Amino acid sequence: MSLARRLVREAGIDLWAATLGVLVNTVLGSNVVPRPLRWLGYRLFGARIATPNIFPGAKLLGPMRHVRIGAGTFANRELYLEAVAPIEIGRDCQLGPQVMIVTSHHDRTADGGVSKVPRGRAVKIGDRAWIGARAMILPGVTLGDDVVIGAGSVVARDCLEPGVYVGSPARLVDKVAR
């Protein structure tokens, strides 16, 4: 990516944070905005959210068009969605307080350093997933249907089999019989 293109991209991110980002995260995410109004505001800015159950303190960063949340999903206080790449959350999911979903990744450079330019890797969460308080879902991860992530867990790899995953990195500790 050329220097000029990178500067324009970074300026665009800074401009979003100073304008629409303030509206989305400060105003819509505040305690005084009722859930139905918050839901309509997120949708107005381009998020595809099919549930009004997004509680106060949510931080949505990146293009709102990258955020998709299914009907019946419940997101507790202080949800953090860093949507450099698409984030898709299925139907009837439960997200505990301060859940963090991150989609940006920084590649290694030829000289062994780390690139300053983020690269997005999509996150997909299936239907009926439960994610405990302060769990972190890292870039490129897919969670299958009926997956439970324990509080405080760090999910660095796909968790496709229905069951309970805990730890850092999260590992399957209990399978769910179907």
- CATH number where 100 lies: 2.160.10.10
More confident residue, 153 or 24: 153
DSSP reduced 3-state for 73 = coil
Q: Which one-letter amino acid corresponds to residue 131?
A: I
Query: Do the Cβ atoms of 100 and 136 come closer than 8 Å?
Result: yes
Rounded-to-integer distance, Cα 18 and Cα 130, Å? 33
pLDDT score at 115: 83
Nearest in space to 42 (alpha carbons), one of 68, 18, 74:
68
pLDDT for residue 28: 84
Size (the chain), residues:
178
CB 76, CB 54: distance < 8 Å: no
Residue 68, pLDDT > 60, answer yes
How far does Cα 119 stand from its chain's mean position? Answer: 15
* Statement: residue 15 has pLDDT above 90: no
Average pLDDT taken over every residue of the chain: 89
**30: phi > 0 → left, psi -120 to 50 → alpha, else beta; which?**
beta
The total domain count for the chain is 1
| 163/24: higher pLDDT | 163
Share of the chain above pLDDT 70, in %: 87
Task: Provide the pLDDT for residue 116.
Answer: 82
Nearest to 144 by CA among 84, 90, 65, 76: 90
**Mean pLDDT value of segment 72-98:** 97
Question: CA 72, CA 93: separation in Å to the nearest integer?
Answer: 7
Answer yes or no: 105 catalytic: no
DSSP-derived letter for residue 24 is I
- Domain holding 35, by residue range, is 3-175
* Catalytic, out of 106, 119, 157, 171: 106
* 33-67 residue pLDDT tens: 999 999 999 998 889 999 999 999 999 988 889 99
Beta strands in the chain (DSSP E): 48-49, 59-61, 67-69, 74-75, 80-82, 87-89, 94-95, 100-102, 104-105, 119-120, 123-125, 130-131, 136-137, 142-143, 147-149, 154-155, 163-167, 170-175
Is residue 72 scored above 80 in pLDDT?
yes
Question: pLDDT of 89-138, one tens digit each?
Answer: 999 999 999 999 999 998 888 898 888 888 899 999 999 999 999 999 99
